[in-house]
């Protein structure tokens, strides 16, 4: 088996030097490509490339403009710091840089600030009005609570927090006593410093934390109405519910209307139709269920009538929407997870109903898309390739537009990716990806890894991760088995929902069915099987460690849930715990979850080496979960290591920490899988 070279030298830049296969250093050399917007005439698009400086331990994103037909590319920015949220305005391109909105000409010249808002802004979108002026929407942070320093001004060196309600911390951040609120202003030739806060007097947020962005708000084509998403709950209610709503404000009268009143789940990503007569958004029906079916709601603003697309199509049990965009007043483009990949479809509204037609195909993820002239500009990735941008047209082979990483990939051996259907313990067919080493020889035996997916409702698609990178694992001489076990989207609503309140049940049997199926092959070394995963995947590792009956020789769990009772009382988004576990452990109705499906109750069976990884700023799965698992293993006499990153959250984001992560990951596997 190929082995990663040991320690690396940051100063000299010598990192795991290895030719012809993917390595951790090469992952950080890759440019991370992402699509921003297509021009109004549909002939060009703007995109960003993020590159990382390992020695400086940071990254930088620059913007580029490409003509779709000719392929001519112009670098728009080379500033210190990143640019994001690029979009077209008149004959210029606007973007956020350094907390203010700026614009440049199409050739990258004549950089101008559009805003000069005190304290800076987040996001920002500029819209061209009929008179040529710009109306700008953006989010800005406002103080909405008393800070510790204000409570005791005579004790400036005191360090404390006072909590009277829940949501005092979220994902990786403590409550900062502020809210992010939606504002608008007008640009008329000079940087705009004044603005109107559309949420003044409240303590609510737009976008909805922690992951919302500028897709959470929009301006009507006539510039008179703003529609935005907000979750108008706080404290315990915010923690227990997902109920966000779509609000519309008339900018002249100030009148506000809740467009999604009575719709109790997540409502997000509002978009006006091109003629401004309708509004559409994505909606989940169930309050508290963050992985519910995403339906597309279309509302006629004059009549108030709402259409629920999937329900009216009779496809509510079959599909869920990841994303959408208006193409015409009665046509959409939609993103749908399906059978182990993300694909794009055209959706037409007809007199007799809806017609859904698949546009993309193949074992690729087609992610963010924009409508262009004669087709679509789309981000595409697969397990062997990081994101590049493609042009997709119905009935035609996808055309590659960017080649940011070709120079690296052209010199690498690619992994064979196999789509394998595995029979589960209850007789179902389960799509399982098998990833082989680049130099795979069927006459040899290879150590084999079972990959356990997080989420838990997150499809094992053709994703390209910069941490859980299957191409990298295979390049080190491992076969990777990645099953789409119970509880994942893309295989119908029933399959997706089977995980809730059954965390340690059928999904564990699905995992074992997948690894048992592949390990029967002569090239899989059944005496050297490993099990790896993060989040719910980390929970799965802990759970399987107690029930695997000797199958595995090594485990690696990152940010996994170990003790469900202590996790319930230390996590933050209670709606997730309440829906997926059934509720609190003191409710006897949930007894099975906290006994039969709690990894800590199987520690007496642990006998296999385990690497535990955790971040100190992971508030979704707090650090005590990793510490408890590590301590349990050591007290049991099981070989174990605890890899701790005090300043990382649920994910490892900094370049140098990422390299340490991979070094420890592969050293552990190399030690126990021989």
Whether 7 shows a pLDDT value over 90: the answer reads no
Coil, strand or helix: which one is 583?
A: coil
Q: What is the percent of the chain with per-residue pLDDT over 70, rounded to a whole number?
A: 97
pLDDT tier, 5 (very low <50, low <70, confident <90, very high otherwise)? very low
User: What does the domain layout of the chain look like in residue ranges?
Assistant: 114-289, 413-672
| Band of pLDDT at residue 351, cut at 50, 70 and 90 | confident
Residue 359 has pLDDT above 50, yes or no: yes
Distance of alpha carbon 276 from alpha carbon 272, whole angstroms: 6
Interatomic CA distance for residues 5 and 15, integer angstroms: 8
Q: Calculate ∠ Cα 551-463-347, nearest 5°.
A: 130
Residue 2, pLDDT > 90, answer no
The yes-or-no verdict on residue 571 having pLDDT over 80 is: yes
Q: Is the pLDDT of residue 83 over 60?
A: yes
Query: What residues are labeled active site?
Result: 535, 618, 650
Strand partners, 187: 134
Query: 532: which strand partners?
Result: 451, 556
- Token couple for 156: 């400036």
pLDDT at 408 > cutoff 60 = yes
pLDDT at 19: 56
- How far apart are alpha carbons 125 and 475 in whole angstroms? 42
Position 330 scores a pLDDT of 92
Sign of the dihedral through C-alpha 345, 387, 291, 304 = negative
Please check the confidence at residue 424 and state whether its pLDDT lies above 70. yes
Examine the pLDDT at 362 and tell me if it is beyond 60: yes
Tell me the CATH architecture of domain 413-672. 3-Layer(aba) Sandwich (3.40)
- Nearest Cα neighbor of 542 from 574, 496, 511 is 511
Cα torsion 537, 541, 544, 548 to 10°: value is 120
Task: State the average pLDDT over residues 624-643.
Answer: 98
Read off the tokens for 625: 């979960």
pLDDT at 17 over 60: no
As a whole number of angstroms, the distance between CA 290 and CA 496 comes to 12
The alpha carbons of the chain give a radius of gyration, in whole angstroms, of: 25
pLDDT confidence bin for 1, thresholds 50/70/90: very low
Q: Across all residues in the chain, what is the average pLDDT?
A: 95
pLDDT number for residue 131: 87
Average pLDDT over every residue of 496-511: 97
pLDDT computed for residue 336 by the predictor:
98
Give mean pLDDT, residues 602-620.
98
Structure tokens of 462? 């053709």
CA distance 527 to 551: 8
Q: What is the largest CA-CA distance in the chain?
A: 75
H or E segment at 411?
none
* pLDDT at site 10: 38
Average pLDDT value for residue range 4-32: 64
SS3 493: helix
Residue 53's pLDDT is: 97
Over 70: is that where the pLDDT of 18 sits? no
Count of CA atoms in the C-beta half-sphere (13 A) of 274: 10
pLDDT tens-digit profile of 470-481? 999 999 999 999
| DSSP character at residue 603 | G
Q: Which residue has the tokens 């290879």?
A: 446
Cα separation of 382 and 370, whole Å? 19
pLDDT, tens digit (0-9, with 9 covering 90-100), for 285-309: 999 999 999 999 999 999 999 999 9
| Residue 451 scores a pLDDT above 70 | yes
Phi-psi region of 501 (alpha: psi -120 to 50; beta: other; left: phi over 0): left
How confident is the model at residue 674, as a pLDDT?
77
Closest CA to 82 of 104, 60, 50: 60
pTM over 0.85: yes
Judged by DSSP in three states, 610 sits in: strand
Q: Identify the weakest region by mean pLDDT among 3-7, 56-60, 407-411.
A: 3-7
pLDDT band at 11, cuts 50/70/90?
A: very low
**CA–CA separation, 326 and 441 (whole Å):** 48
Q: Is the pLDDT of residue 13 over 70?
A: no
Structure tokens at 386: 């990081």
Strand spans (E) along 339-490: 341-350, 353-358, 365-372, 375-382, 385-392, 399-400, 417-423, 429-435, 446-452, 479-483
Give CA angle at 448 (552, 450), nearest 5°. Answer: 65
SS3 281: strand
Helices (H), 502-590: 506-519, 536-547, 564-568, 574-581
Map tokens 């706080």 to a residue: 234
Contact at 8 Å (CB) between 384 and 414?
yes
For the segment 164-199, what is each residue's pLDDT rounded down to a tens digit? 999 999 999 999 999 999 999 999 999 999 999 999
């Amino acid at each position: 088996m190929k082995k990663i070279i040991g320690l690396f030298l940051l100063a000299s830049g010598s990192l795991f030097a290895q030719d012809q296969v993917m390595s951790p250093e090469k992952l950080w050399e890759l440019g991370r490509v992402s699509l921003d917007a297509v021009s109004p005439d549909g002939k060009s698009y703007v995109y960003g490339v993020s590159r990382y400086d390992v020695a400086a331990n940071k990254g930088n994103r620059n913007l580029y403009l490409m003509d779709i037909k000719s392929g001519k590319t112009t670098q728009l920015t080379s500033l210190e710091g990143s640019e994001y949220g690029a979009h077209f305005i008149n004959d210029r391109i606007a973007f956020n840089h350094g907390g203010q909105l700026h614009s440049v000409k199409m050739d990258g010249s004549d950089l101008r600030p559009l805003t000069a808002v005190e304290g800076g802004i987040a996001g920002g979108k500029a819209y061209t009005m009929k008179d040529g002026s710009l109306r700008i929407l953006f989010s800005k942070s406002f103080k909405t609570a008393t800070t510790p320093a204000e409570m005791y001004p005579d004790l400036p060196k005191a360090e404390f927090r006072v909590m009277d309600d829940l949501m005092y911390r979220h994902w990786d951040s403590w409550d900062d006593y502020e809210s992010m609120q939606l504002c608008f202003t007008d640009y008329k030739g000079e940087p705009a410093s004044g603005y109107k806060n559309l949420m003044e007097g409240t303590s609510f947020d737009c976008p909805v934390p922690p992951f919302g962005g500028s897709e959470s708000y929009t301006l009507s084509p006539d510039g008179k109405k703003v529609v935005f998403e907000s979750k108008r709950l706080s404290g315990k209610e915010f923690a227990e519910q997902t109920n966000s709503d779509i609000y519309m404000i008339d900018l002249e009268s100030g009148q506000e209307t809740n467009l999604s009143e009575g719709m109790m789940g997540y409502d997000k990503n509002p978009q006006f139709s091109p003629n401004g007569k309708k509004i559409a958004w994505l909606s989940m029906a169930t309050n508290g269920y963050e992985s519910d079916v995403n339906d597309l709601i279309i509302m006629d603003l004059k009549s108030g009538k709402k259409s629920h697309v999937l329900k009216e199509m009779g496809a509510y049990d079959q599909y869920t929407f990841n994303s959408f965009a208006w193409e015409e007043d009665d046509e959409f483009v939609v993103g749908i997870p399906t059978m182990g990949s993300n694909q794009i479809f055209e959706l037409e509204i007809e007199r007799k109903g809806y017609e859904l037609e698949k546009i993309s195909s193949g074992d690729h993820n087609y992610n963010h898309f924009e409508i262009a002239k004669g087709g679509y500009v789309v981000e595409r990735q697969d397990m062997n390739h990081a994101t590049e941008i493609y042009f997709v047209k119905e009935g035609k082979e996808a055309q590659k537009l960017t080649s940011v990483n070709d120079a690296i990939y052209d010199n690498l051996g690619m992994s064979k990716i196999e789509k394998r259907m595995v029979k589960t313990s209850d007789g179902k067919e389960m799509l399982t990806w098998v990833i082989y080493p680049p130099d795979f020889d069927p006459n040899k035996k290879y150590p084999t890894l079972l990959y356990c997916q997080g989420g838990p409702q997150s499809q094992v698609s053709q994703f390209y991760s910069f941490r859980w990178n299957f191409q990298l694992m295979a390049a080190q001489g491992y076969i990777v088995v990645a099953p789409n076990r119970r509880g994942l989207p893309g295989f119908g609503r029933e399959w997706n929902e089977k995980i809730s309140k059954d965390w340690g049940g059928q999904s564990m049997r699905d995992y074992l069915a997948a690894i048992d199926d592949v390990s029967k092959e002569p090239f899989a070394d059944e005496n050297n099987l490993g099990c790896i995963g993060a989040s719910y995947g980390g929970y799965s590792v802990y759970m399987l460690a107690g029930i695997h009956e000797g199958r595995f020789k090594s485990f690696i769990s990152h940010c996994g849930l170990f003790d469900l009772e202590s996790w319930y009382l230390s996590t933050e988004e209670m709606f997730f715990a309440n829906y997926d576990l059934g509720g609190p452990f003191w409710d006897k109705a949930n007894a099975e979850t906290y006994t039969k499906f709690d990894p800590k109750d199987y520690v007496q069976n642990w006998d296999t080496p385990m690497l535990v990884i955790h971040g100190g700023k992971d508030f979704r799965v707090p650090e005590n979960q990793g510490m408890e698992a590590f301590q349990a293993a050591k007290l049991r006499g099981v070989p174990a290591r605890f890899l701790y990153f005090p300043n990382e959250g649920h994910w490892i984001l900094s370049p140098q920490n990422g390299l340490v992560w991979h070094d420890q990951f592969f050293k552990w596997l190399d030690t126990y899988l021989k």
